[in-house]
């Protein structure tokens, strides 16, 4: 992976962006609100838009240098289409913070944004970032990734503050897939904890989850190295070990014999892992990618097996070498 810059170069960049950046945030859910809070803390001008806003979308994006989308996956296409109808200068950077896969095309959010705005820089923001902790100003780190390094560095400056440390990466797809695929693993992790399977089981699950994510990612063109960073392993650890995670809560609820419908009805916000699992399994079947853990999550959320049967199915798989199918 081409490396990001040295510390001294990054500092020069921070110094060169002396003017406040104008950020328009689309989506005022938990994550959009938390990122707006961080950018404000970092001294930039922030406007927030949601479907219930008094101001219109054109009013909110007027004069923005950066437009951040933090809507859930189901809202991405609609937001993209609304923005396509507006005249947005080419220099405006789009940042996508959604962690999901499109059910129609199996594309990632950044691919949808880049297809719709081919002349604009598109930056992915992803990392171990539970929004409730960010809103409490607890220290956290994230990754901003783009093929356009200058754009990524502008976004790095925009969100960096004393409680939020932002790293640049040049692999947007890997960065995005790390945050997306770990949501499936977070469901499995919630089941593991809910069934009280123990520390050994949890360690085995998370350790086997990472190569599964890498297998999917590299098949789709991502850099394997990215998955060992904050947006891959980092987010896997955060989300799979926190009751704050909605995806973890889904898995935990299923382990307590609650129905998926009941869990989702009472959930605070979006659990992207449910849709992601369904899209991923379709993709894995088409492309013949081995995704054993995700497969059991798929069967579980679609009511084909019980949590106990899912665990048993994973334990009874054919014996194999630890690293026989991973080309790192
Ligand atoms: N909450 C968190 O800790 C984090 C969430 N994320 C990701 O950010 C995304 C959003 O998550 P949350 O803010 O937590 O979810 P949320 O459920 O709190 O908010 C979702 C937002 O999307 C908006 N939305 C949905 N459909 C829309 C449409 N058609 N048009 C316009 N807006 C629409 C909703 O109005 C709402 O503001 C998800 O992909 C999630 O995986 C990423 C990192 C952290
Ligand atoms: O992506 C997240 C943390 O990095 C948030 O996880 P949940 O969507 O499972 O709450």
Q: Are 28 and 48 in contact (CB under 8 A)?
A: yes
Q: Which atom of ligand 1 is nearest to the CA of 74?
A: 26
Q: Are 238 and 128 in contact (CB under 8 A)?
A: yes
d(CA 50, CA 43) in angstroms, rounded, equals: 22
- Tell me, in angstroms, the distance from the centre of ligand 1 to residue 306's CA: 29
Q: Using a 6 Å cutoff on CB, does residue 245 contact ligand 2?
A: yes
Q: Which atom of ligand 1 is nearest to the CA of 33?
A: 13
Q: Using a 6 Å cutoff on CB, does residue 126 contact ligand 1?
A: no
**pLDDT given for residue 246 in this prediction:** 98
d(CA 294, CA 242) in angstroms, rounded, equals: 19
- Tell me, in angstroms, the distance from the centre of ligand 2 to residue 8's CA: 32
Q: Using a 6 Å cutoff on CB, does residue 120 contact ligand 2?
A: no
What confidence tens digit (pLDDT) does each residue in 287-302 have?
999 999 999 999 999 9
**pLDDT given for residue 10 in this prediction:** 39
What confidence tens digit (pLDDT) does each residue in 262-275 have?
999 999 999 999 99
DSSP secondary structure string for all residues of 221-247 = T--GGGGGSIIIIIHHHHHHT-TT-HH
What confidence tens digit (pLDDT) does each residue in 199-253 have?
999 999 999 999 999 999 999 999 999 999 999 999 999 999 999 999 999 999 9
Q: How far is CA 205 from CA 75, 199, 236, 310, in A?
A: 31, 10, 11, 12
Mutate to test the pocket of ligand 1, among 24, 26, 27 (most ligand atoms within 8 A of CB): 27
Q: Using a 6 Å cutoff on CB, does residue 238 contact ligand 1?
A: no
Average pLDDT over all residues of the chain: 94
Is the pLDDT at 87 greater than 80? The verdict is yes
Q: How far is CA 178 from CA 164, 245, 312, in A?
A: 19, 15, 26
Binding residues for sn-glycerol 3-phosphate: 99, 127, 182, 235, 245-247
Tell me, yes or no, if the pTM score tops 0.90.
Answer: yes
d(CA 143, CA 118) in angstroms, rounded, equals: 22
What confidence tens digit (pLDDT) does each residue in 90-109 have?
999 999 999 999 999 999 99
Q: Are 151 and 124 in contact (CB under 8 A)?
A: no
Strand arrangement of the beta sheet that strand 140-145 belongs to? 45-49, 22-26, 66-69, 93-96, 122-126, 140-145, 164-169
DSSP 268: S
Q: Which ligand is nearest to the CA of 49?
A: 1
Which residues are known catalytic residues? Answer: 182
172-194 and 272-287 are packed helices; what angle lies between their axes, rounded to 10 degrees? 110
Give the residue from 203, 215, 219, 213 showing the smallest Cα distance to 233. 213
Question: Which domains does the chain possess?
Answer: 7-170 (3.40.50.720), 174-315 (1.10.1040.10)
Helices (H) and strands (E) in the chain, counts: 15, 7
Q: Using a 6 Å cutoff on CB, does residue 72 contact ligand 1?
A: yes
- Tell me, in angstroms, the distance from the centre of ligand 1 to residue 103's CA: 16
Contacts of 132 (CB under 8 A, 6+ apart): 30, 244
Is the pLDDT at 2 greater than 50? The verdict is no
Find the helix or strand (DSSP H, E) in which 46 lies: strand 45-49
């Amino acid at each position: 992976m081409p490396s990001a810059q040295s510390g001294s170069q990054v500092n020069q960049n921070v110094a060169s962006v002396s003017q406040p950046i104008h950020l328009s945030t689309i989506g005022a859910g938990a994550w959009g609100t938390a990122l707006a809070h961080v950018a404000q803390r970092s001294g930039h001008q922030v406007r927030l838009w949601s479907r219930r806003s008094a101001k219109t979308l054109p009013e909110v994006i007027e004069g923005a240098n950066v437009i951040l989308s933090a809507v859930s996956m189901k809202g991405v296409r609609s937001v993209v289409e609304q923005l396509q109808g507006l005249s947005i200068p080419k220099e405006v950077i789009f940042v996508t913070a959604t962690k999901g896969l499109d059910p129609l095309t199996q594309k990632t959010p950044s691919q949808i944004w880049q297809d719709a705005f081919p002349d604009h820089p598109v930056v992915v923001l992803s990392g171990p970032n539970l929004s409730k902790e960010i809103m409490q100003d607890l220290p956290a780190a994230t990754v901003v990734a783009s093929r356009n390094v200058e754009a990524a560095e502008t976004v790095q400056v925009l969100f960096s503050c004393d409680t939020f440390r932002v790293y640049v990466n040049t692999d947007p797809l890997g960065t995005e897939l790390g945050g997306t695929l770990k949501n499936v693993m977070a469901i499995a992790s919630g089941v593991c904890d809910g069934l009280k399977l123990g520390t050994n089981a949890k360690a085995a699950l998370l350790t086997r989850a990472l190569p599964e994510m890498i297998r999917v990612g590299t098949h789709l063109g991502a850099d394997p190295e990215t998955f060992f960073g904050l947006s891959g392993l980092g987010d896997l650890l955060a989300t799979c070990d926190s009751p704050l995670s909605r995806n973890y809560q889904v898995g935990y609820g299923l382990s307590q014999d609650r129905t998926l419908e009941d869990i989702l009805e009472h959930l605070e916000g979006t659990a992207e892992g449910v849709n992601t699992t369904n899209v991923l399994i379709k993709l894995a079947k088409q492309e013949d990618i081995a995704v054993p853990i995700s497969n059991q999550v798929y069967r579980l959320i679609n009511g084909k097996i019980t949590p106990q049967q899912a665990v048993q199915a994973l334990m009874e798989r054919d014996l194999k070498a630890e690293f026989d199918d991973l080309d790192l």
